[in-house]
Amino acid sequence: MTKVLAISGSLRSDSHNTNLLRNAVGLFGDDVEVEILDGLKDVPPYDEDDDREGASEAVHALRAAFAGADAVFISTPEYNSSIPGQLKNALDWVSRPLATNPLRNKPAAVVGASTGAFGAVWAQAELRKVLAAIGARVVEAEVAVGHAPTRFDEDGTLVDDDLREQLGEVAGALVSAVAERQELARTAA
């Protein structure tokens, strides 16, 4: 069973990005278990002193969630043309120690939604850069949900067929990346 950790970069309850993640869950297939990360809001600001002296429970839970996943799927909003602080902060915690961090060589995919026209493309690009810098294997596929309030019905279901298809392609690319990585590990063993 492949395990995917899904993360919404938004903390608000009616988040379009969280809705996008929920729509993606059903597109992964039966042999994939998707866990949506809970507790992003509990992660304290990164402080190297705290990291040295013993990180909080929230940070241990965050790192364990990343360590237990075969792949990571993130839906990010765009705040002032970049990654929301709470998401970047969580990734900073996960990234240390750099040499052994749980994102190292792990397949990761990024999608995004915004109320503007472009679907958080700048935040997505910066997030891909950050993930790659941490050591993740970022898949190329993209979904940019612009004008987000018009793309979901009142139950939070994505109503745009093209976007749904693109979301399925990202899910497929992520699962393929996991399979390739497992195959590589098998042949290297």
Would you tell me which residues interact with ligand FMN (CB under 6 A)?
10, 12, 15-17, 77-81, 113-116, 120, 148
Other beta carbons within 10 angstroms of residue 25's beta carbon come to 16
Please check whether residue 19 is in contact with residue 152, taking contact to mean a CB–CB distance below 8 angstroms.
Answer: yes
Q: Residue 45 in 3-state DSSP? A: coil
| Residue (78 or 126) nearer to ligand FMN, CB | 78
Min CB(113)–ligand FMN separation in Å: 6
Min CB(114)–ligand FMN separation in Å: 3
| Residue (32 or 120) nearer to ligand FMN, CB | 120
Min CB(16)–ligand FMN separation in Å: 4
What backbone torsions phi and psi does residue 99 show, to the nearest 5 degrees? -65, -30
| Residue (67 or 115) nearer to ligand FMN, CB | 115
Q: Please give the Cα distance from 140 to 94 (Å, whole number).
A: 22
Please check whether residue 90 is in contact with residue 25, taking contact to mean a CB–CB distance below 8 angstroms.
Answer: no
Please check whether residue 107 is in contact with residue 70, taking contact to mean a CB–CB distance below 8 angstroms.
Answer: yes
| Residue (81 or 182) nearer to ligand FMN, CB | 81
Min CB(74)–ligand FMN separation in Å: 12
